[in-house]
Amino acid sequence: MADIIKFVLSTILVILFHSSLQAESITVACTNWKPVFYVENEILKGSGYQIAKAVTEQAGIEAEFIIAPWKRVYLSGLNQPNYMIACLARTPRREALFYWIGPIIENKICSIFKLEKSAVSLKSIQDLQNYPVGVLRGGHQHDFLLDLPHKNILTVTDNKQLLRVLEGGRVDFVLSTEFKTTVGGTANDGDTKKIVKVMDAYSVTEYLAFGKITEKEMVDRMTRAYRQLESEGKIVLGE
């Protein structure tokens, strides 16, 4: 009987130990987003990655850093405990769904682009409702169009696909933070020389964030770590 009790107690201790380990570890995820969170020569890099890594280390929490398609990252952040999104734009639609740890990029501009050869034009953002528009699936750009409201939306998984649907004539405009041009000027990226910026649409601040399914204790611990690093001048926001 004593041996059975010892076995049961030891089993309980093992379970509690593993539960404790799980509670002290998190997943940190972002889509592939250079220069914020990306892999180069099999090494994770980026301004957002550096902030997330520094915060987890300051908090004394073990972290697994991963890159995944954006929709998967977003849904996992919503539905999995201890899953921190390292690149989440703070918007009214998302405000109540997440715990917001701290920013990694402030005032990121999202702009409207079209093909350089296209004759279509916009006088205001509201005019977008008259044209098919491409955006990243599940991104803040998608939310923005839904709030206009806008019904003729084509969603894609990444910026390369976004460029392809624009060049292929499937949409007249795209919304993106990643195609770098001046208003009326051609893009300076090698992959985006055929597009021009029509106008800026809005700005967002990107955050480290947990879904509400994560325990508040973990959230508070990470928030304290972020604020401590911030007070020491060790948080360098990306552009």
> Using the 8-state DSSP alphabet, how is residue 129 labeled?
G
Helical axes 216-231 vs 47-59, angle rounded to 10°: 110
Question: pLDDT value at position 158?
Answer: 84
Q: Is 97 helix (H, G, I), strand (E, B) or coil?
A: helix
pTM of the model: 0.81
Domain 108-204: which topology? D-Maltodextrin-Binding Protein; domain 2 (3.40.190)
Each residue's pLDDT, cut to its tens digit, for the chain (239 residues) gives: 555 544 444 444 434 333 443 458 999 999 999 899 999 999 999 999 999 999 999 999 999 999 999 999 999 999 999 999 999 999 999 999 999 999 999 999 999 999 999 999 999 999 999 999 999 998 999 999 998 888 899 999 888 899 999 999 999 999 998 775 444 444 444 455 589 999 999 999 999 999 999 999 999 999 999 999 999 999 999 87
Where on the phi/psi map is residue 17: left (φ > 0), alpha (ψ -120 to 50), or beta? Answer: alpha
Question: pLDDT value at position 13?
Answer: 40
Question: pLDDT value at position 180?
Answer: 59
Hey, do 2-105+206-231 and 108-204 end up sharing a CATH topology, with the first three levels equal? yes
CATH class for the domain made up of 2-105+206-231: alpha beta
Looking at residue 7, its amino acid is F
Q: Where are the domains of the chain?
A: 2-105+206-231, 108-204
Question: Cis link prior to 69 (omega < 30° from 0)?
Answer: no
Residue 156: both structure tokens together? 């894609």
